[in-house]
Amino acid sequence: MIARFCAYAVLRNLRFFEPFFLLFLLHDVGVDFVAAGALLAYEKLLGGALEVPLGVVTDRLGRRRALIASFSLAAAAFAVFAWAAHTRAWTLPLLYLGQTLYAVAEAARSGSHKAIILDWLTQQGRRGEKTRVIGTTRFFSKASGGAAALIAGSIVWGTGHFTALFWAAMVPTLGAAALLWTYPRSVEGSLSQRPPESPEGPGLWAGLAQAAKRPGLLGLVAASVLFESESKLALVYLQPYLAARLAAVELPVAAGVGAVIYGAWFFIQGLLAGSASLL
């Protein structure tokens, strides 16, 4: 199972379009920075709003089945993004549809696989190995994300546009869904397989309200959200900056060898992040 967990981490992070997504919007689709920023904000806000309710749905349906549905939705989102680059009549509606599908997919996926790993380790009496196992899968996750950037750079260089990255990303995404079918049903984590909760216990929203009243908790959550948001936004808006600097030295990212150099930068970043996860 640990080999399958690592394979999942690799397949999940072969999202070839991620290091080039803003460039795709600006170059292939032709939207401006305001429209691109609105699309990015919409996806993040929707995903954040859906994470808790979809977490409840995931627990009721079963984590394995919810993850399969999540990857299927993600593959559909990639097809919609690619379609949006080839039409001018419904470009923005298609982009928002793609972002909606992707936000739902990511919200349904969030935290589910880590819970599956913990459940399996508990069932095997190996709960004490959780740090090592999760650290190993995180290494494969980060390293494969870096490798995806390098492969994506080669794809852009060869095809001359960014749209092909979405078609390429569909292959490992559907592969991850197929891999999840091989997981044992014992890791579903369905609420139907658990003992009923005490009627005196707090419900979901009451539990969240109680947690929010704990001293210092809201400050920690806010700090975590701000740090993660700043990091992700910096990486997104670094894309056009790097592309402009490479173009300035006659190494264009679009249809040029600069795409490979651009991908190599993210590849090195992914390897460093993966190595740090093993410390």
In this prediction the pTM is 0.82
Q: Which two tokens stand for residue 219?
A: 């400050």
Q: Considering only CA atoms, which of 108, 252, 250 is closest in space to residue 177?
A: 108
205 inside domain: no
Is the residue at 105 inside a domain? yes
The answer to whether residue 202 is domain-embedded is no
Q: Which domain holds residue 89?
A: 2-188+219-277
- With H, G, I as helix, E, B as strand and everything else as coil, classify residue 57: helix
- Give the pLDDT of residue 139: 86
Query: Which tokens sit at 107?
Result: 């919200």
Stretch among 88-92, 190-194, 249-253, 270-274 having the lowest mean pLDDT = 190-194
User: Does position 181 have pLDDT exceeding 60, yes or no?
Assistant: yes
Say if residue 249's pLDDT is above 80. no
In a domain, 211, yes or no: no
pLDDT of 58 reads: 81
Residue 199 carries which DSSP code? T
What phi-psi label fits residue 250: left (phi over 0), alpha (psi between -120 and 50 degrees) or beta? Answer: left
Q: Is residue 212 part of a domain?
A: no
Tracing tokens 């794809």 back to the chain, one arrives at 155
Question: What pLDDT does 123 receive?
Answer: 84
pLDDT, mean over the chain = 81
The closest alpha carbon to 174, from 265, 75, 258, belongs to 75
User: Does 186 score more than 60 pLDDT?
Assistant: yes
pLDDT, position 95: 95
Distance CA 136, CA 6 (A): 7
Model confidence pLDDT, tens digit, residues 58-107: 878 888 888 999 999 999 999 999 999 888 778 999 999 999 999 999 98
Task: Tell me whether residue 143 is in a domain.
Answer: yes
195 pLDDT exceeds 50? no
Interval 209-213 mean pLDDT: 63
Report if residue 6 sits inside a domain.
yes
In the predicted structure, residue 194 carries a pLDDT above the cut 60: no
**Count of structural domains within the chain:** 1
Position 204 in a domain? no
Q: State the average pLDDT over residues 119-124.
A: 85
Least confident of 8-17, 134-143, 179-188, 240-249: 240-249
Contact 278, 135 (CB under 8 A): yes
CATH number at residue 27: 1.20.1250.20
The whole-number pLDDT of residue 179 equals: 95
Q: What is the pLDDT of residue 209?
A: 65
